Amino acid sequence: MMDEREIIQRVLAGDKDAFGLLVEEYQGRVYNLALRMCGSREDAFDLSQEAFFRAWRGLAGFQFESAFSTWLFRLTANICLDWLRAQKRRPTVSLTSVSEEDEAAQLELPDPGKGPEELLLAAEDRALLARAMDQLPVEYRQILTLRAIDELSYTEIAQVMGVKEGTVKSRLSRARLALRNKLYQIGNKSATETSNSTERRDAR
Amino acid sequence: MNCEEALTLLSAGLDGAVGPEEAGALEAHLASCPQCRRLAAELEGLDRSLAALKEPAPEGLKQGVLYRIDQASGKAKTRSRRFRPGTALGAVAALLVLLVGTGLIKLPSRQTRANDAEHAETGAPGYAEYEDPRLAPESARAPAYTDVWVVPPNYGENNYSGVDRNDDGMEPAKELSPAESGKKDAANTSSQDTEVSMDMDSLQARCGALSEAEEALVLAYADIDPDSLFTLLEREAPELYRLTSELEPREENGLLLYPTDCGTALALQEWLTAQIAVNGETVRGASLLTETLEQLDPGSSSLRRVIRLETPGHQVAWPESWPGAWALELQRGSNWILRYPSEDYVPREAAPAYLVFEAEP
């Protein structure tokens, strides 16, 4: 079993099958990153292929300064960001426009006095959760995916996103809060209906 | 500690990034803050649910990558670019390039049309459910499909340099692409033992010239000849047959051009994609139908738009009642496709397209 450095050396020598090994290894995480950043399976499919294709072409420039994985994820994220810009998507709130006050205000609970059950139920609805994700700023979508889905470390995330580790820590916490609040916002109706029926069931 | 700081620690705690001192301080805060206690539970649950969003990479991803690499190394230096959104399909023409094979074309086995009876009752358009091509016997394997090449209107300019504009009609067959090799294997049982000599360079060059002149997009290449295609459509996709069988071709620069519209061309492309196997693997075709059905959920965020077309009054009864729409245009990724042409679909002149075949020598 070759180690990754060997595989990459082979790829640099033109070994396409070796590159296939890399694709197999990383296609899951690359695809999920593209999927959560861009919101559509077809586009994620296309953009994932684009990412690997560019990785193939650009591998000569890969200097082993970082791990191949972080280099690849960074490439993927950049492709997605370019694509999103070209899409001129419905206005998503960019991180830079969120003021400090707004962020603090987000700590206000939408519905004080209730327990976490409502939200947790809503979160279990995958479609609902995906929709909530989709409505967050792209930097939040990116960091949540890298951590919770692709399971990158803070160090790796810092490299992929080109920020300091401290920033990763704080941005991640804000992203989680934003997702939670968004889920409350859009999931309130269905969550209430579900919990009501649960209450009725429990009451019997 | 205030709640903001607690939030940061709660989040970091999920990632194992909290030291013992911080953990102690957080505990103290939580003991007296029911809001943060609740938040802690919520963030934890949310993280688990996020992890559950993970999906496996779809079939064909790796093949597609390797195939693109093959295409790019050595052969025509044209690059494929994804269709640029913002270029409304109605504004540019489209070319659906269908290459003439040389006797190796195998029509697929008769597909199951189990749901056709159902469709007939509900009046829904007949988009038959296709069998997985992988299950088809070798001799019935559908024609190979090279790739979706999208050539933007400024084809030939800086970004897309290296296009060989020479008319290299006499070039020998290049190394076979995976699609071609797959087809070659499938064809070994054929009586005609002809080599496939798809002169991709020349074809691409001529299509490039044509697309530039017409400001058109090339949508797809597939190796099939017109007669075989129409026979296939008549049998398998009557709506597409209706839209294409009456077309009168003109010949230009070694190409046969059937003028049609973008909706039809894209519908045909989509249908071809569903038929096609590359290296024995389905190119997204089988899963595409399932995905599209999922996208028909109005509550789903992935359904972008449904467009109402001209003649009113005809309802699509399948899959759900969708009042007023009789031909659904769905967005697949960045492309708009005509997914379910109904009986009443009228080709739109404002969105011209060509079905392009290689003319017989």
> Which pLDDT score, from 0 to 100, does residue B23 have?
93
Q: pLDDT by residue (tens digit) across B79-112? A: 332 222 222 233 333 444 443 322 222 222 222 2
Q: pLDDT by residue (tens digit) across A92-125? A: 444 444 444 345 445 555 565 677 888 888 888 8
Q: pLDDT by residue (tens digit) across B152-189? A: 222 222 222 222 222 232 222 233 333 333 333 333 32
For residue A22, pLDDT beyond 90: yes
For residue B299, pLDDT beyond 50: no
More confident position, B25 or B135? B25
| A contact residues 141-170, partner B, Cβ 8 Å cutoff | 144, 147-149, 154, 169-170
More confident position, B273 or B207? B207
More confident position, B359 or A127? A127
> Which pLDDT score, from 0 to 100, does residue B266 have?
64
To the nearest whole percent, how much of chain B has pLDDT over 90? 14
> Which pLDDT score, from 0 to 100, does residue B39 have?
92
Of the pLDDT bands very low, low, confident and very high (cuts 50, 70, 90), residue B305 is very low
Chain A residues touching B51 at Cβ < 8 A? 148-149
User: Strand ranges (DSSP E) for A34-106?
Assistant: none
For residue B223, pLDDT beyond 60: no
More confident position, B161 or B244? B244
More confident position, B240 or B306? B240
Q: pLDDT by residue (tens digit) across A169-192? A: 999 999 999 999 998 888 765 545
| B contact residues 44-63, partner A, Cβ 8 Å cutoff | 45-47, 49-58, 61-62
Find which of A53, A165, A185 to mutate to test the B interface (most B CBs within 10 Å of its CB): A53
- The three-state DSSP-derived secondary structure of chain B is CCHHHHHHHHHHHHCCCCCHHHHHHHHHHHHCCHHHHHHHHHHHHHHHHHHCCCCCCCCCHHHHHHHHHHHHCCCCCCCCCCCCCCCCHHHCEEEEEEECCCCCCCCCCCCCCCCHHHHHHHCCCCCCCCCCHHHCCHHHCCCCECCCCCCCCCCCCHHHCCCCCCCCCCCCCCCCCHHHHHHHHHHHHCCCCCCCCCCHHHHHHHHHHHHHHHCEEEEEEEECCHHHHHHHHHHHCHHHHHHHCCCCCEEECCEEEEEEEHHHHHHHHHHHHHHCEECCEECCHHHHHHHHHHHCCCCCCCCCCCCCCCCCCCCECCCCCECCCCCEEEEECCEEEEEECCCCCCCCCCCEEEEEEECCC
Q: Tell me, what's the ipTM?
A: 0.83
pTM, to two decimals: 0.50
Rounded to a whole number, what is the distance in Å from the CA of A146 to chain B's nearest CA?
10
Say if B332 is an interface residue toward chain A (CB within 8 Å).
yes
> Which pLDDT score, from 0 to 100, does residue B354 have?
72
Interface contacts A/B by beta carbons within 8 Å: 154
The verdict on a CB contact (< 8 Å) between A23 and B8 is no
The verdict on a CB contact (< 8 Å) between B333 and A24 is no
Of the pLDDT bands very low, low, confident and very high (cuts 50, 70, 90), residue B329 is very low
Instruction: Write b or e for each residue in B247-261: b if 16 or more Cβ atoms lie within 10 A of its Cβ, otherwise e.
Output: bebeeeeebbbbebb
Chain B residues touching A133 at Cβ < 8 A? 53
Mean pLDDT of chain A: 81
> Which pLDDT score, from 0 to 100, does residue A124 have?
86
For residue B320, pLDDT beyond 60: no
> Which pLDDT score, from 0 to 100, does residue B31 have?
93
Say if A101 is an interface residue toward chain B (CB within 8 Å).
no
The verdict on a CB contact (< 8 Å) between A42 and B62 is no
For residue B255, pLDDT beyond 70: yes
